Copies of this chain bind each other. A is one copy, B any other.
């Protein structure tokens, strides 16, 4: 009797072990389902900027980190502390030497950084550019704002705010290419789409609050009828807002650029009517997605794309532009 008991227990034990082991195997390798897109935490994707401390990069880094968290990979953030090409080149060299799984870089100077970017690509590291590109480099993609289109959108918003009639002006930084594109998009659109509007002045604010304030005062005294000013960057927008605040009785629509806290506060208070928000989160998130895709091929063969250009990522990604007004400003404060 007792011997039979023993046999039963041993058999039941084997059965339980068998069932559990089977569940363990099917769980880790279900033949009917894919495991999804998932990397290794040891794979590090690096985001490289310049003036690393400024607020502007935060939302881009958030997108980069969100992508990395979804894909179970790691992120590092590096860059030059100043607006300095040789410092950024040194940082990039250091990053390359660690053989990361991918690099997303905003080039402080498109020409000076090209050689170092190419070195990374030639050593088999996936590289994409965001926000500030290097069109002649071998990087696989560029993700950023279509600045001409941002000017187009700003002009249409200005027309909506001013009833599509009257004089408007621009405060910009003419020697920066992206700012010139915003100005061109604005001017072309006013001319093409709004026959009762006219751009009467394009002034240089030098990307500086004080100079922009002076430029706006100049506009207000030369053109007292002016109904709106478009500032192509945020210091300019704040300078224009101060100039308008100082002129009592002036009711003028201001459209600014970007979403730093001071600008958003002025949108909330109504001094600035609208600001153009760049798709910064998109720049970071989709940079990471592209690098992850490239890494899979290049980890196997660093020369995977050298024979032809059949590259599995787009050439250019326009990350979009949003118009921020009092109605939706709360969505744009950093979280």
Interface residues of A (CB under 8 A from B): 2-3, 5-6, 9-10, 12-13, 16-17, 20-21, 23-24, 27-28, 32-39, 41, 69-72, 143, 146, 279, 281-282, 285-286, 289, 307-324, 328, 331-332
List of B residues within 8 angstroms of A307 by Cβ: 328, 331
Whether A318 contacts B316 by the Cβ 8 Å rule is yes
List of B residues within 8 angstroms of A13 by Cβ: 9-10, 12-13, 16-17
A72 CB contact (under 8 Å) in B36, B323, B328 = B36
List of B residues within 8 angstroms of A71 by Cβ: 34, 36-37
Closest to A33 in B: B72
List of B residues within 8 angstroms of A36 by Cβ: 35-39, 70-72
Complex alpha-carbon distance, A328 and B41, angstroms: 36
Closest to A146 in B: B316
List of B residues within 8 angstroms of A286 by Cβ: 313-314
List of B residues within 8 angstroms of A309 by Cβ: 320, 322-323, 328
Q: Do A281 and B312 contact each other (CB < 8 Å), given the known contacts A17-B16, A33-B41, A33-B72?
A: yes
List of B residues within 8 angstroms of A310 by Cβ: 281, 322, 331-332
List of B residues within 8 angstroms of A279 by Cβ: 314-315
List of B residues within 8 angstroms of A328 by Cβ: 307-309
Q: Do A143 and B314 contact each other (CB < 8 Å), given the known contacts A24-B23, A41-B33?
A: yes
Whether B285 contacts A312 by the Cβ 8 Å rule is yes
List of B residues within 8 angstroms of A41 by Cβ: 32-33
